[in-house]
Chain A
Amino acid sequence: AQTVTQSQPEMSVQEAETVTLSCTYDTSESDYYLFWYKQPPSRQMILVIRQEAYKQQNATENRFSVNFQKAAKSFSLKISDSQLGDAAMYFCAYRSRSSGDKLTFGTGTRLAVRP
């Protein structure tokens, strides 16, 4: 079974600085997607960014980018120019066809942003 590990339960960053959240996963598949979801205090789950395993180029969405290291099975999220609104729980997730298109989530990293 696929597993997703987020080894940082909590992180803190100064406003306007950059922070990187770590995620590793275990799979024998070659065709899969990786996702980062954000959950603010409102509890709503919001997709931040996604990465296809076949694409070598790292995905970017405005201030959010990933460092996808397929051989190392690592998928970290970098948030640049951190804002107070970035404070949230961040979940890394994995999805593959062999898993029936289901998402497997990590346990989450709580990010605090200091003003």
Chain B
Amino acid sequence: DAGITQSPRHKVTETGTPVTLRCHQTENHRYMYWYRQDPGHGLRLIHYSYGVKDTDKGEVSDGYSVSRSKTEDFLLTLESATSSQTSVYFCAISDFGLSYEQYFGPGTRLTVT
């Protein structure tokens, strides 16, 4: 298994509070991604990073920000959580190149009440 962990694995928070999810890898892969998974939508890309301090938006980036200060860590922050952000969040890593698979973390289930 690829060395990729997510923390926390489960979180319940209230509307309006900030939340930070952490993704940590031990594979030294260049690319890191944050997805959310919702029923009927599959996995949708929130933000991704192609190197330290290099990040870009995905298709559902509103309300989310990211940071990557080290190769191994990629943080996803919900500045002010809303109920629509209740979801399962997956981090993924990949080396550079189309053929390389993305390895996924175990996911974080976030509930915003």
Q: Does A68 contact B (CB under 8 A)?
A: no
Interface residues on B, range: 20 to 34
Contact of A102 among B40, B48, B88, B104 (CB under 8 A): B48
Q: A52 contacts which chain B residues (CB < 8 A)? A: 98-99
Number of interface residues of A (CB under 8 A): 24
Q: B56 contacts which chain A residues (CB < 8 A)? A: 100
| Docked pose: A11 CA to B45 CA in angstroms | 26
Known A-B contacts A33-B99, A45-B90; the reply to A103 vs B42 at CB < 8 A is no
Q: Does A107 contact B (CB under 8 A)?
A: yes
Q: Decide if A105 touches B42 in the complex (CB within 8 Å).
A: yes
| Docked pose: A107 CA to B97 CA in angstroms | 24
Q: List 24 A-B contacts (CB under 8 A).
A: A6-B42, A43-B106, A43-B107, A44-B106, A44-B107, A45-B90, A45-B92, A47-B101, A50-B99, A50-B101, A52-B98, A91-B42, A91-B43, A96-B98, A101-B31, A101-B50, A101-B94, A102-B45, A102-B58, A103-B43, A103-B45, A103-B102, A105-B42, A106-B42
Smallest CB separation, A40 vs chain B (Å): 12
Q: Decide if B96 touches A43 in the complex (CB within 8 Å).
A: no
